[in-house]
Structure formats: structure tokens, C-alpha cells
Amino acid sequence: MQDELSAFIETNSAFEGSAGRIQLPPAVAEMTLFTASRSLQGQEVRKQLDTTFASLYHDLDNGFQPINFMLPWFPRPANRRRDIGQRKMTQIYTDIINTRRATADDGKENEDMISNLMHSQYKDGTPVPDHEIAHMMIGLLMAGQHSSSVTSSWVLLHLAAQPQILEELYQEQLRILGSATVPLTYDNIQPLTLVKNVIQETLRLHPPIHSIMRKVKTPLPIQGTNWVVPPSHVLLAAPATMGKSDEYFPNADTWDPHRWEHMVDPKDQEREKMDYGYGLVSTGADSTYLPFGAGRHRCIGEQFAYVQITVVVSMIVRHFKLRNMEEKTDLVATDYSVMGYLFAHCLYHSIANPVTSHCSLAPWNQHTCIGSDARSTSLGQALLQRDMG
Ligand code: HEM
């Protein structure tokens, strides 16, 4: 991940020169995609992101519009492109798997999810079929990309608004790692408590998945009441509602990563444990902190997301100082009128076009806001200064 980010910072025009202005969300989206694809899916996928894969990815991405959750079959041109993209992407993954098999991949050379699944079996001993691996890879790419990218963007926007925390993060690296040039590894980022708290605090205020729904299958009594929710009803949990409650998080509207130094770690609140088939894990169902959901379908990418966001933020902190445009201290508002995974688009959209407060349903290309300075509001942008120290 670090190599990917170093190369990106060195070559991307957004980071040119010793100081300048940057639209953070599009730059962060690319950083997230490159690091996730390289580390989760291997170098073949990463290489193709510079060519064919990128346009297929965008076609799939455009299938993530709110209307698709209601009418996924609707004969829109974007949906046709989405389906063609899905089939072509499946073929690309299948070709990668075949090539690896032909060159006798033993899983050691390629330590990624493709290799992992190629050597995995179901409980009854059936090997995971290639087309299922391909579909899971597409799912992983879509599941992880937007949520991690949006979270990293919010972190950096908050750091631009409160540069003293960015300085604290830099000092933390010096204190724990000894210098800010030490290669980042899974082990040495674990003691970086402040960066973990920064991510945790950002997810409290800006959980990318704003609605988590569950269909009731058997009558569900609500503890402490006479209410019983009947089967067929759908229950919805909104992590941001609890995250913004003063009852659980005093001064809930304030972004203060230091609050976590005095709070019970949300993971410790998760008392209920369950084995879903891969060992005992906490369900998280009794936690007041739910950005990664709860229960059987709780996010499987949480640990990966923390590593990825930590590396992205730490690399920016090493290289740059950030501050908000025109000394502003406020941030672009969260737009909850859209589906969770589409939030990334809306963040870009609200930056690119301050007049529109809702995400457009029309196919909207993220490149619109790159360099669209004339229409830009300064919220969501940051001033970037290369740290020569
Ligand atoms: C900050 C980053 C992330 C956040 C906030 C997040 C949030 C969530 C939430 C709330 C759910 C549960 C949805 C539900 O219960 O209905 C979920 C599920 C899931 N997430 Fe994440 N996620 C993040 C990153 C990732 C990454 C990086 C990956 C993959 C590499 C990933 C893969 C998945 C998958 C596969 C599921 C479905 C699990 C299932 O249905 O059993 N997520 N995520």
C-alpha cells in the first residue's frame, strides 16, 4: 500500500509543487482503489486499472444509483453498460485465475484474496468455483471502495479544518515509529492510537452506510416494552443517529478524536458473541457504535479498512500540511438523501456544484469535479503544503 501511495503522490498532478489547492475526494478515491486492488486482488488487477479495468469499473459503479435498489432490471443505458461490465469483469478475473493455475500458483507468490479463495473449500470439501471467486472479487471491490474512500476523505477534510490534530498525528509517528520515514507495516501501525481514534471519531459522525436493514423472520419482542414486531416487517438501524446522540457521546456534534482516550472502546461494549462459521466474534448488536453494522452480516472488511485508511492518512501526514480554504472551519454537509455506497458521488457532487444539495440521479462522472474550479465551493477542498521538515 505504501509503495502505491508513494508512487501516486510522486506522479499525480494534484500533488505537484510545494504548495497548492486540492480536491481531496477524487484524489482519495483513486488512492483507495489502487491500494485496495493491489493488496486484496493482486498485481494483475492493479495493472489493468490503468487500462480496460478502469472503464469497466466506472460502468459497474454507475449501476449503484438509488433507482437500482428499487428497479435493478430497469432498461436504462447505464444498466445495460453495468451488466456488460459485470460480464467482462467476470471474464477478466476468470482469465487471471486460469493463468495463475497454468503457472502453478501455490498461493505463496500472490498473497491476495484471489489466491486465498483459489485454495479454499466449502465445509463439505467442494472447492470454490472460479466464477464464484470472480463474483466475490467484484463484490469486494464495490463493497470496500466507497466506504473506505469516503471515510478517508472525511478524515482529511477534518484534519484540514483542525490542522493541530494533523500535527499531533505527525508527532505520534515520530514518537512511536522513531521517524516519519520508517516503512509502514501491519505491526508497526498498531500502536498508532491517535490515528485509530481519528478514524473511529470520523466514522461516528460520518458512517458511510447510513441505513442497516433487517427483515423480521419470527415475532420479535422489544425488551422493556409490550411491543412485538411481527414477521415480514423491516427494521432499520441508523448508525449516525446514535453516533450523534449526546446521551452516548457528550458534545456529540464536535469532532474530537481525543474523546476515545476516555471512552470505553466500542468493541468492549460488544458483549454478545456468536460463531457464524469462522470462529467466535462479537455481534456488535448491543453497541451504540455501529458504523460497521452488527450481527451475521457485520462488515468483514473492518480490519482491512482500518489498515488502509491508517496508511492513506499516515502517508498524507508524512508529506503534507493541510488547511481549509479561506480559513474556513466548517465542512461540507453530509447528504443523507442517498444510498450509503453512493455517498462518495454525492460528496463529489456537492463539492463540484454548491447549488445542488442532492445527488443527481443522472449518470454522473466523478471526473467532472476534477479541475472544475470555476464551479467549486471551497468546502471540501483543502490547501496543501508539502512538509519540508
Ligand atoms: C470504513 C469502511 C467500511 C465501512 C464503514 C463499512 C460498513 C459496512 C456495513 C455497515 C456493513 C453491514 C451492512 C449490513 O449489515 O446490512 C458492511 C458489510 C460488508 N462489508 Fe463493509 N465497510 C467498510 C469497508 C469494507 C471493506 C474495505 C470491505 C472489503 C474489502 C468491506 C466488505 C464488506 C462486505 C463483503 C460486507 C457484507 C457482509 C455480509 O453481508 O455478510 N467493507 N460494511
Share of the chain above pLDDT 70, in %: 78
Q: How far is CA 277 from the centre of its chain?
A: 25
Residue 292 alpha carbon to ligand 1 centre in Å: 6
Helix (H) or strand (E) holding 143: helix 130-161
> How many CB atoms sit inside 10 A of residue 24's CB?
24
Q: Give tens-digit pLDDT for 167-177.
A: 999 999 999 99
Residue 324 alpha carbon to ligand 1 centre in Å: 30
Q: How far is CA 201 from the centre of its chain?
A: 15
- What is the chain's mean pLDDT, rounded? 80
Which CATH superfamily hosts domain 2-386?
Cytochrome P450 (1.10.630.10)
In the chain, what are the domain boundaries?
A: 2-386
- Nearest residue (by CA) to ligand 1, atom 26, is 144
For 7, 147, 170, the CA distances from 318, given in Å and listed in that order, are 14, 23, 7
Closest CA to 160 of 28, 289, 39: 28
Whether the per-residue pLDDT at 254 is higher than 70: the answer is yes
Ligand 1 pocket member 301 (CB < 6 A): yes
Whether the per-residue pLDDT at 305 is higher than 50: the answer is yes
Residue 140 alpha carbon to ligand 1 centre in Å: 9
Tell me the backbone φ, ψ of residue 374, rounded to 5 degrees.
Answer: -60, -35
Q: Give tens-digit pLDDT for 339-367.
A: 443 333 333 333 322 222 222 222 222 22
Tell me the backbone φ, ψ of residue 172, rounded to 5 degrees.
Answer: -60, -40
